[in-house]
Structure 1
Amino acid sequence: MADLPIINLPLLHRDPLAKSSVIKKIRDACHRYGFFHVVDHGIPDRVIEDALKVSGEFFQLPMAEKEELASDDVCKEVRFCKLEMGEFARDFLKLYANPLDHFLASWPRSPPYYREKMGIYSKEVRKLSIELFGAIVESLNLDNQTNHLQKNFEQGLQTLVLNSYAPCSESDKKIGAPPHTDHSIITVLLQSAPGLEIENGETWKNVPNLKGSLQVLVGVHLEVISNGFYKSVLHRAIPSCGDSITRLSIASLHNLAIDEVVEPAAELEIDGEDGNSRMYKGSSLRDYLKHLASGEKRGFIETIKIN
């Protein structure tokens, strides 16, 4: 999809005119699509290659080794499972990653250097997310809350979600991830091959895997902070049937602390849709996890909307 926005990160630091143009482009991207590509993001190619390599090696381990981390507890800090949701299936590994020194010892021990390579990637993508969030806050003109939000974001929880999509054939299409929004402020996505689709205007749009780019998705809690001006993007994973390779993705979800309540920014409450001054109730990441564990059919965003 050629018209999906691409943000060239170094332009934020070139000169005031270039920065203003990038901030405006980010605002438009988050409002129209809930999505953008980011290029020249500063994460070295070797770090990205190593993260994908050790991720692939983990998923190729014998099931007995992976099952040591298996759990149905959505609150568990490290969790492996084989997910099947309707017509979709994938292997899944969740890792809490910030503060890294608190969680690293619970990460997989195999393959060798897994903790080292994924730890380096998690730190690099976290630095990127902090820079991106600063630009996003600026794009919302939140002058009175910028420092508070930025500080809480920097101290917040980072979760790595790793997915492995096995090759599929025309006769076996149960590979992928169903439509969903991310419960994050932003998600930074790395994918080894195309397969991501986003909903825009009630149609599904394929997201090309641009060389050297990462994908940035607006999550539910950024929708809340923006009081509905930015929309959490509905997306799914549909690897191409007939491909002979396994598709990998590494999603880095960035939130505030797990019990920190996220509410609409006071400066934006007067801009609510349909005349509402405040469109969402406050909620935390733990509230979302409880919702997920409950089996509630409605999406979490629907449960916190103020009618």
Structure 2
Amino acid sequence: MTSQTTSAHLPTIDLSRFYAGAAERASFIKDLRAILHDHGFFYLTGHGVPQTLIEEVLAYSKRFFALPEEDKLSIEMVKSPHFRGYNRAGYERTRGEQDWREQLDINTEGEAQPIKSDTPPWKRLYGPNQWPEALPELKPVLLTYQAEVTRVGIDVLKAIAVALDQPENVFAPIYEPQPTQLLKIIRYPGRDSTDSDQGVGAHKDGGFVTVLLQDTAAGLRVRTEEGAWIDAPPVPGTFVINTGELLELATNGFVRADVHDVVTPPRGTERYSVAFFLGARYDATIPVIDLPEELKRAERGVTVDPLNPIFREVGLNHLKSRLRSHPDVARRHHADLLPPEAQSAIA
């Protein structure tokens, strides 16, 4: 992991300006348009999520990770074919390398779909979440928070649409009536428990926008197109917003899904965060938006990574990501989707 950093800082955007008078809204849109083309990462204020809820989410996240290991493993992700549940540090991977963080993944509450030979594979993603019996209060807190950051994510997406000179609901046909709502509560142990500096490896997010809540410890970095890294430390009262691959696809690269990572905290410390990924419906296909000529001239095309291709089919894109990130779940529940060499590794 490179340590080259730059003294640049992420910009800050006040979402309340989007709902202010015409002049303030126009100024906000101009600022947002420049940020979207530059790197798509920014701090967000004026989001309207109550501070009491934010504090409650962080407090219950810490209570969950403080549970005895057997309580957390009772809802281990490998027990869920829908990629929901708890992962120990090192059990998720980025580009094949272990991420040194423990986490709990939940998504939109639902029921498993009947799977037949002709069923699209991405329908395996639908299903129930796993919740810890030892901490029943966690479920209502996280579902309340999930609903709030879904609102924030959709508001940001509407602002992005306007910044692209589109109707604010231009993306609605591919996320209504139910977007995907992946939420992770995350704990990064310090270096006293690992020699790795990869809290999470360099990657792009796959959805529309990510709404990230950081606690007090730093570690998030954003890579510029020139290859330098910008530190994105916690700023009280803000979320970090970043644009994902779906927007890169929809805008032919005018909006870029930027690479970012998290560095393992120092010895004797730990880092907590809550990441929310707003995505389109699994059955949607991402169109290319016809941008105005001024913006079209600034399109950069979609990133081509032979090790991690981006698909316009949302369900396929998300399933690909889950299979790569969680090989233990893939081997146990989805061996038929894996190449022969991976199938032979099933324990």
Q: TM-score range by the shorter chain?
A: 0.7 to 0.9
Runs ≥4 in structure 1, deviation > 6 angstroms?
102-105, 272-277
Trace 1:64-79 onto structure 2 (pairs within 5 A). 64-72=70-78, 76-79=82-85
Q: Residues 271, 72 of structure 1: CA spacing in aligned structure 2 closer, same or farther, 3 A cutoff?
A: farther
1:179 and 2:202 aligned: yes
2:102 counterpart SS class: strand
Trace 1:1-307 onto structure 2 (pairs within 5 A). 3-72=9-78, 76-84=82-90, 85=93, 86=97, 88-97=99-108, 106-143=130-167, 146-154=168-176, 155-169=178-192, 172-174=195-197, 176-192=199-215, 193-200=217-224, 201-242=226-267, 244-267=268-291, 271=296, 282-290=312-320, 292-293=322-323
1:78 and 1:107 in contact (8 A); partners too: no
Shift of residue 292 of structure 1?
A: 4.5
* C-alpha distance in 1 between matches for 2:110 and 2:35: 30
2:185 counterpart SS class: strand
* C-alpha distance in 2 between matches for 1:140 and 1:206: 27
After superposition, the CA RMSD in angstroms is: 3.1
Q: Sequence identity of aligned pairs in percent?
A: 25
Instruction: Kindly provide the amino acid, as one letter, of the partner of residue 28 in structure 2.
Output: V
**Alignment gaps of 5+ in structure 1:** 296-307
* C-alpha distance in 1 between matches for 2:157 and 2:65: 31
Shift of residue 210 of structure 1?
A: 1.0
* C-alpha distance in 1 between matches for 2:140 and 2:301: 48
Q: Residues 170, 249 of structure 1: CA spacing in aligned structure 2 closer, same or farther, 3 A cutoff?
A: closer
2:250 and 2:289 in contact (8 A); partners too: yes
* C-alpha distance in 2 between matches for 1:39 and 1:252: 16
* C-alpha distance in 2 between matches for 1:140 and 1:107: 40
Q: Residues 168, 199 of structure 1: CA spacing in aligned structure 2 closer, same or farther, 3 A cutoff?
A: same
* C-alpha distance in 1 between matches for 2:299 and 2:157: 27
Aligned residues: 290
1:198 and 1:204 in contact (8 A); partners too: yes
Shift of residue 161 of structure 1?
A: 1.7
Name which of structure 1's ranges 78-87 and 42-51 shifts more when overlaid on structure 2: 78-87
Shift of residue 151 of structure 1?
A: 4.8
Shift of residue 2 of structure 1?
A: 5.6
2:87 and 2:102 in contact (8 A); partners too: yes
Shift of residue 37 of structure 1?
A: 0.5
Shift of residue 245 of structure 1?
A: 3.3
**Alignment gaps of 5+ in structure 2:** 1-6, 112-125, 305-309, 326-347
Shift of residue 254 of structure 1?
A: 0.5
Q: Residues 224, 247 of structure 1: CA spacing in aligned structure 2 closer, same or farther, 3 A cutoff?
A: same
1:255 and 1:285 in contact (8 A); partners too: no
Shift of residue 53 of structure 1?
A: 0.9
Shift of residue 110 of structure 1?
A: 3.5
Instruction: Kindly provide the amino acid, as one letter, of the partner of residue 140 in structure 2.
Output: E
* C-alpha distance in 2 between matches for 1:128 and 1:183: 18
Q: Residues 274, 187 of structure 1: CA spacing in aligned structure 2 closer, same or farther, 3 A cutoff?
A: closer
Q: Residues 160, 291 of structure 1: CA spacing in aligned structure 2 closer, same or farther, 3 A cutoff?
A: closer
Shift of residue 160 of structure 1?
A: 0.2
TM-score after normalising by structure 2:
0.74
